[in-house]
Amino acid sequence: MKTIDELLAEGVDGKRVFVRADLNVPLAEGTITDDGRIRAVLPTVKALAGAGAKVVVASHLGRPKGAPDPAFSLLPAAERLGELLGAPVAFAQDTVGPAAHDAVNGLQSGQVAVVENLRFNAGETSKDDAERGEFADQLAALADVYVGDGFGAVHRKHASVYDLPAKLPHYAGYLIATEVGVLKKLTEDVKRPYTVILGGAKVSDKLAVIDELLGKADRLLIGGGMAYTFLKAQGHEVGISLLQEDQIPVVKEYMERAEKNGVELVLPVDVLVSTDFPDLKTKAPADFRTVDADGIPSDMEGLDIGPKTRELFAEKIADAETVFWNGPVGVAEHPDYANGTAAVARALLNCDGFTVVGGGDSAAAVRNLGFDENAFGHISTGGGASLEYLEGKTLPGLAALEN
């Protein structure tokens, strides 16, 4: 795929450059709680603006139903982008309507505008090729060149990700180029030992990537809510912990394959349990205790890995040459159940190998727990996109840029 460096060499002064970013940041009552995805697109936006382009930034935020919804406005993200750039950023209150055209037409060389949430338009996510194509035509009218830099959305066959690049000269931004380079290190020329840590709530969300990793990873560490389906598959009581009973047969088969393939599958040996799910809003102290993973009381719920498991996971990470981590290993939003996730982060920092934090909740947890994100080899902006790449799937947004 052509990169932004090639575009800059060709010259962009005075050209309208459409940057498909990923500004899908978490909001709490209109306030951004983690601006990592906005900061991730800064190198691309700064380079284009610095070269005299008229930069038009577009993104989705949340899942509005194909119509404007103030709760999902990109205005907070646009304002934060302006703060980080140290320059005014125009904001259009529609995506392809009069406000968007006025904002773009008002740009001088080196200036930046953000248009409203792409998903306020039904054509962005439509399953109908013609409807998506029509919306892509409307977006194309705003620009002369397309730069894809929204890695968190490249696994979606959406108008701004898949259809629009075909209608304009297209290039990969710095973020996408970096993300693809990192993922190749996890899939093609992997340095070993290769340790993968998977967490998060549902094992069903990770089945495809586990299936692929059973032929590639040396060690697979399982934490988070998904671990209890594995423990149940071993015949252990898991109480009222998160459990996907229907996935137990698949999990058993994966455990057998791991042993056959020589992949070390590491499960929690102790967990923190409570009778009540923690109050995440008030952060009220929770009533909890540590038990062995094979001794969870029938009326209690596992909410984090215990101290023995933290040490075990750290040991399995310590000598790895390559580490990929996706998903918190506990309810990291609550301080009582964040120690396991913090322990995994510290283990990555203490590892001399190439360490990748695979986006989404794990990336937010790293920042919210106060770790220096620059100390990790790479923090991805796209959890779902990273996983699908590791699964071996063709990602529509990358395919469009490569075409």
Residues acting as catalytic residues: 37, 202, 360, 384
Residue type (1 letter), 361: D
Q: How far apart are CA 160 and CA 228, in angstroms?
A: 39
Contact 143, 17 (CB under 8 A): yes
Strand partners, 180: none
**Residue in this structure with the two tokens 């001794």, named with its chain if needed:** 295
- 3-class secondary structure per residue, 328-389: CCCCCCCHHHCHHHHHHHHHHHHCCCEEEECCHHHHHHHHHCCCCHHHCCEECCCHHHHHHH
Length of the chain: 403
188-209 per-residue burial string, b: 16 or more CB within 10 A, e: under 16? eebeebbbbbbbbbebebbbeb
How far apart are alpha carbons 167 and 126 in whole angstroms? Answer: 18
Q: How far apart are the first and last CA of the chain?
A: 7
Return the amino acid letter for 143.
A
> Nearest-CA neighbor of 57 among 141, 114, 111?
114
